[in-house]
Amino acid sequence: MKTTKRNLIQLCLLGAVLLQAATSSAQPVTKIAAGGSQSFFLKSGGSLWVMGLNDKGQLGDGTLNPTNWPEKVLGTNVTTIAAGIDHTLFLKSDGSLWAMGRNSDGQLGDGTTDGGNYYTNRPEKIVASGVTAIAAGGYHSLFLKSDSSLWGMGYNYDGELGDSTYDQASIPEQIVPSGVTAIAAGESHSLFLKSDGSLWAMGFNEFGQLGDSNNNRDDVNIPEKIVPSGVTAIAAGDHHSLFLKSDGSLWAMGGNGFGELGDGTLNSGGTNSPEKIVASGVTAIAGGTDHSLFLKSDGSLWGMGDNDPGQLGDGTAHGTIQPEKIVASGVTAVAAGFFHSLFLKSDGSLWAMGDNQYGELGDRSLNDTNRIEQILGPYNRIAIQLMSGPKVRLSFVGLDGTNYALDRTFNLVPVNWMPQITNRADSVGVLVLTNTPVTTTNNFWRIRSVP
């Protein structure tokens, strides 16, 4: 690879001071998804990465082994990812739908189920083309086609497929023929939007998560209109639901035993009609088991609800019954799992917090954290860590699998670059420089990509 300004990082280390760092076009993280105890992300090149629990093959790497560090499963062409409790869906650029993981109730849609622990640990093509959106619930799956039809498969004992029965489906079945624009799936309930901005729901309703004001909390096995117009985004937690309106207001309904609705109360029975939580400025939402996350237009991240393992990332183990600001700015996407949370920043960096029993945070440990933790940094940036004595340790985040050379000169005028060593970035692009600069001498160093 030819050395240019775009793939060159140049620095001066004298007392560990960074002189210059030129960024380049690399592969930032573009999308995230959080399942029960697993996490997924996509890079800009369309590669799919996984970490966490894998007991039903939900990571799709051909094993049943968990991983506490990001692992690449597919190299290109993945465009969207959705995660259930222990099954996973993704789309490719050709509009094909793929699935892996548990299939005990037909949630993969491949026509097989044994009512027990059937699973597949490799991605399996379910629909050849034309799929535009996906959602994974507890044990059911939803997807949209390019004709705006809604399809579903899997568990249906609470009516979450909305097909007027309570029978599970092991192959995709059409639920709504046209006009659907967005979908969300909770543990046992489903939400969707139509092109007129109306919100519809079906499935389990014991906690009022359908928001239909039904005091009997009856399950619903056909789509039911909840809000007639003006809804722009939806999210489904375990037993609660969130939605946004066109004015940027945030609304919630359903279970509220941990304050996940953010209305300032605790109510284990929940609320069965939508209530306004934030008046304006909300741009994105995510629902976990008993916690909720949302973004505001200024890029700030907010959370409410359960926080026992630290999924709100506020440095405590105490939940909150009203929205709490977690990050002040720069956040672009959020995802909520059982007891962990993920978010992206505008520089393409990936962050996480909460439960890490199975490595779902991807930080190479199994330790929970109640503070936000950077998992992958911005690409082509240099991190400087002071070591004992006069030395420092440099780490550089570049393109995964790329070779990088470290050069040194004692002067910039005249410059005399002397090659030091060539290192290869690991599977997530992290390069640790083995030839450590010494801060007591006037060393100038550069990193460049090489063939």
Q: What is the pLDDT of residues 408-441, one digit of tens each?
A: 777 777 878 887 666 676 666 666 655 555 555 6
Domain-terminating residue out of 376, 407, 428: 376
- What SS3 state is found at 242? strand
Q: Is 144 left (phi over 0), alpha (psi -120 to 50) or beta?
A: beta
CA 439/CA 437 separation, integer angstroms? 6
Residue 272 tokens, joined: 């069965």
- pLDDT > 90: what percent of the chain? 71
Q: Residue 391's domain spans which residues?
A: 5-24+381-450
Same domain, 139 and 165: yes
Query: 393 with 360, same domain?
Result: no
The structural domain count of the chain equals: 2
Choosing from 376, 403, 433, the residue where a domain stops is 376
> Bigger pLDDT: 448 or 451?
448
Q: Which two tokens stand for residue 129?
A: 């083309």
Summarize pLDDT for 214-263 with one digit per residue, the tens.
988 999 999 999 999 999 999 999 999 999 999 999 999 999 999 999 99
> Are 282 and 189 found together in one domain?
yes
Identify the three-state secondary structure at position 235. Answer: strand
- The answer to whether the peptide bond before residue 177 is cis (omega within 30 degrees of 0) is no
Judge if 311 and 394 occupy the same domain: no
Query: Is 419 found in the same domain as 359?
Result: no
**Which among 376, 394, 415 is the end of a domain?**
376
Residue 398 vs residues 342, 376, 421, 431: alpha-carbon distances, Å: 21, 11, 16, 7
Structure confidence at residue 7 (pLDDT): 38
User: Considering only CA atoms, which of 221, 106, 225, 109 is closest in space to residue 165?
Assistant: 221
Q: What is the pTM of this model?
A: 0.85
Same domain, 75 and 16: no
Instruction: Tell me if the bond preceding 414 is cis, omega within 30° of 0.
Output: yes
430 and 314 belong to one structural domain: no
131 and 269 in a single domain? The answer is: yes
Residues 440, 402 share a domain:
yes
19 pLDDT more than 70: no
Tokens at 276, concatenated: 């306004």
Give yes or no: residues 247 and 351 share one domain. yes
**What pLDDT, in 10s, does the model give residues 287-313?**
999 999 999 999 999 999 999 999 999
393 and 357 in one domain? Answer: no
238 and 149 in a single domain? The answer is yes
Read off the CATH number of the domain in which 64 is found.
2.130.10.30
